[in-house]
């Protein structure tokens, strides 16, 4: 418990006025000088901020979009290659015309090999015709063949056909003929020729009369 002396001392300290504060006088010239000294520092801060904003990572050049130059390339469409391993379908050939002249017909060779031998050379006959107008549609057609010999002037003869079939009988003597005159030959008439002199040719006509072959005339040209 505080004594009466302590209470009195405390009362005196509380009654003592606080220390007076002396006023500080500031001259206007000093304030203006402080502001002038701060301007260079402010300018430096602004320059530094500007340089920082214009750094390499944020430069105007870096932000300016570059012109994109592209070259358009045109690629030609690939030519489709044929499918490997797949053969093209065969093109069927048109059937031969039975009414066309055909000196390579198998029936000619068959008939020629069965003919009697050449009476002069006693040789067979060459199955390759020298001339003719054989076809399966003609009432009368003929081929010229020669004896199968190496003689300079082999025997020649005509072999006649009716609708493509050999006429074995009823045919006049056909030895000596060497060609067919196409200009005087028709569907039922055959004009055969043979040489009859120097530069002269004789033409003999044969006709199918419905039953056989007949001689209708000859002319020397």
pLDDT in tens, 186-212: 999 999 999 887 778 999 999 999 999
Q: 157 with 151: CB under 8 angstroms?
A: no
> Which strands form 156-162's sheet, in the order they lie side by side?
131-132, 141-146, 156-162, 165-166
Residues 68-101 pLDDT 10s: 544 555 555 556 555 555 666 666 777 778 789 9
Reduced to 3 states (helix: H, G, I; strand: E, B; else coil), residue 63 is helix
The answer to whether 140 touches 189, Cβ cutoff 8 Å, is yes
pTM over 0.85: no
Residues of the chain with pLDDT below 50 are 1-2, 11, 14-15, 17-21, 25-26, 28-38, 40-65, 69-70
Every domain of the chain and the residues it spans: 106-220
CB 74 within 8 A of CB 106: no
Residues 156, 176: contact at Cβ < 8 Å?
yes
């Amino acid at each position: 418990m505080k004594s009466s002396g302590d209470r009195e001392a405390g009362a005196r300290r509380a009654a003592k006025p606080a220390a007076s504060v002396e006023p500080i006088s500031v001259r206007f010239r000093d304030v203006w000088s402080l502001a002038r000294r701060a301007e260079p520092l402010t300018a430096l801060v602004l320059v530094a901020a500007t340089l920082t904003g214009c750094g390499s990572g944020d430069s105007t050049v870096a932000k300016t979009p570059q012109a994109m130059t592209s070259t358009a390339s045109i690629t030609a469409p690939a030519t489709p290659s044929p499918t490997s391993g797949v053969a093209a379908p065969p093109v069927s050939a048109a059937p031969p015309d039975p009414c066309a002249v055909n000196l390579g017909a198998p029936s000619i060779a068959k008939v020629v090999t069965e003919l009697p031998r050449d009476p002069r050379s006693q040789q067979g006959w060459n199955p390759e015709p020298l001339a003719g107008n054989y076809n399966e549609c003609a009432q009368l057609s003929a081929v010229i063949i020669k004896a199968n010999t190496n003689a300079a002037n082999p025997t020649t003869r005509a072999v006649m056909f009716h609708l493509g079939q050999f006429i074995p009988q009823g045919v006049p003597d056909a030895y000596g003929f060497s060609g067919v005159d196409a200009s005087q030959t028709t569907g039922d008439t055959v004009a055969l020729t043979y040489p009859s002199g120097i530069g002269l040719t004789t033409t003999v006509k044969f006709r199918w009369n419905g039953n056989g072959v007949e001689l209708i005339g000859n002319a020397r040209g």
